[in-house]
Amino acid sequence: MARHLITSALPYINGIKHLGNMVGSMLPADVYARYLRQRGHDVLYICATDEHGTPAELAAAEAGLPVADFCAQQYDVQRRIYEGFGLAFDHFGRSSSPQNVEITQHFARQLHKNGFIEERAVRQMFSAADGRFLPDRYIIGTCPHCGYDRARGDQCEHCTRVLDPTDLIEPRSTISGSTALEMRETKHLFLLQSSLESEVKEFVDAHTDEWPVLSSSIAHKWLTEGLQDRSITRDLDWGVPVPADTWPELAAEGKVFYVWFDAPIEYLGATKEWADEQPDERDWKSWWYDVDDAVRYTEFMAKDNVPFHTVMFPATQLGTREPWKKVDFVKSFNWLTYYGGKFSTSQNRGIFTDAALELLPADYWRYFLMAAAPESDDASFSWEFFSSQVNKDLADTLGNFVNRVLSFSRKRFGDSVPEGGQPGEAEEKLGRDIAELLTEYEEHLDALRFRKAAAALRALWSAGNVYLEEKAPWLEIKTDPDAAALTLRTAMNLIHLYAILSEPFVPTAARTMRDAFALSEDTATWVSSDRARSLNSVPVGTDFTVPPVLFQKITEDDLDAYRERFGGEPESD
């Protein structure tokens, strides 16, 4: 059985992330990691804050803090939010860690040794008003491809095309706003991606049939256009320093590595951070070095990150001529929009992760985001859609089922699971339906089809409601108490089953459901189809409690308040 290494795109340090960032990387990775752990796999889920680069320096300057202090502060803020969302990282690290510095510099030395890094004199924009060379993200302007007027000097956020600052129309400094920029000569290191193109293409081609169309098409688009040698150093005060033992002149000038060079390497760095913190001193390389098929590596990211992880980082790994583990499966996502438009802090549009947790518990957001995940196309968030999913699926289908079964049984039979009669045709049919739906649920999660997995989970919950409505224990109790007891006992076993199967999506509610039963030997992590069919995991006589309402409905007054606070109008028909 292969071990599973899971990484999600590193959240950038300069600000709290919105729900689109959450659904595009960290949350689906967490759902998958939880599921695999429950199935008994050895799983390592690694993430970290991405702390280097121009935006970190700019955000720190705006906050009036040294950049190191700003990043440390924001790391704590982000870490608390992700804990609030129930993200069960094995380790959540920092790209500014000593471990990442060490490994990034090692990669650079190896690439240089093998002839894949070259020092070149380049002409770079210099701002007299700012008294410095401007790295790419210190320059904004109009994208020559799509006309977006706030494209960055390294990439256009609108069309995702990779750019150089000299590509921009009417470039200006992000520090001073000055357009009085001039080209001056300086030296930088270049990764010779052109020399590695055939190897990268071979790598991508080997995964084309396995990867989602979104991932493979983006990778092939880059390869079709031809890989260009890429500058991997910048003139910044904050970053992984160019090692002085290899490039003394550039090190003396204070050059640091480009954030997109060191950020993917942080997956390795964070794994070493994790290993260094373990009392048994686990070997971090056992997940990354010379592991071949012993480790299956899955990455999660939004579509704008795909080129760097399918082309640039594999090129970096290949160029070291060392056997580093490369990604097996790239799960990519489209955009989650807010009423069809972009999330925007400045325009008070959209929900950011800290505000989301202020409004409602994490399970509301976890379930909705996965049920509406932008897998095949962009998805649009609206408060109407969100409340409909929460009220229908979570409050009515799952929450109401749990509450009315346990409340009615306690009222009629006391605080322990009643015995009742023997299972009949209805129970046998229910068992067959549950086993079939469970198989479907597992197949979708194994294939990382999250919307379909959420639909299968919803169908599992619905099967319990259909059974309860057909058996109607509130009517059975009047003429056949044993039949009513059987129905309720069966429904309680469904609740326990739901607690186990729902854990990847709604872990807090799952724990509440499971804790409702006084089962001291309840150690099951998953349920086989055969066991699900029998519905007998909660023995007769087991004590239980009625938990508080699992999910509160969202009212029209709530919706009005949310729209007023967060902006946006319902989309017209």
146 is in an annotated binding site: yes
H helices present in 280-389, as ranges: 306-307, 313-319, 353-359, 362-371, 383-389
Q: Which two tokens stand for residue 260?
A: 């997109």
Question: Per DSSP, which regions of 283-419 are E strands?
Answer: 295-302, 329-333, 336-338, 379-381
Residue type, 384: E
Residue 394: CB atoms within 10 A of its CB come to 26
Phi first, then psi: give them for residue 326, nearest 5 degrees.
-105, 160
156 is in an annotated binding site: yes
| Nearest in space to 495 (alpha carbons), one of 482, 508, 511, 484 | 511
Q: How far apart are CA 413 and CA 406, in angstroms?
A: 10
Query: 172 and 141 in contact (C-beta within 8 Å)?
Result: yes
Q: How far apart are CA 123 and CA 185, in angstroms?
A: 4
Q: How far apart are CA 458 and CA 445, in angstroms?
A: 14
71 is in an annotated binding site: no
CB neighbour class for 160 (10 Å; exposed up to 12, middle 13-18, buried from 19):
middle
143 is in an annotated binding site: yes
Q: Which long-range contacts (CB under 8 A, 24 or more apart) does 34-37 make?
A: 34/88, 34/503, 34/504, 34/507, 35/445, 35/504, 36/4, 36/6, 37/525
47 is in an annotated binding site: no
Helix, strand and coil percent figures for the chain, each rounded to 5? 50, 15, 35
Query: 23 and 333 in contact (C-beta within 8 Å)?
Result: yes
Query: 32 and 373 in contact (C-beta within 8 Å)?
Result: no
DSSP SS3 for 51? coil
* Tokens 């098929």 -> residue: 293
Contacts of 43 (CB under 8 A, 6+ apart): 3, 4, 6, 33, 36, 37, 90
Residues belonging to the binding site for ATP are 345
Per the annotation, where are the binding residues?
Answer: 143, 146, 156, 159, 345
Pick out the residues of the known binding site for Zn(2+).
Answer: 143, 146, 156, 159
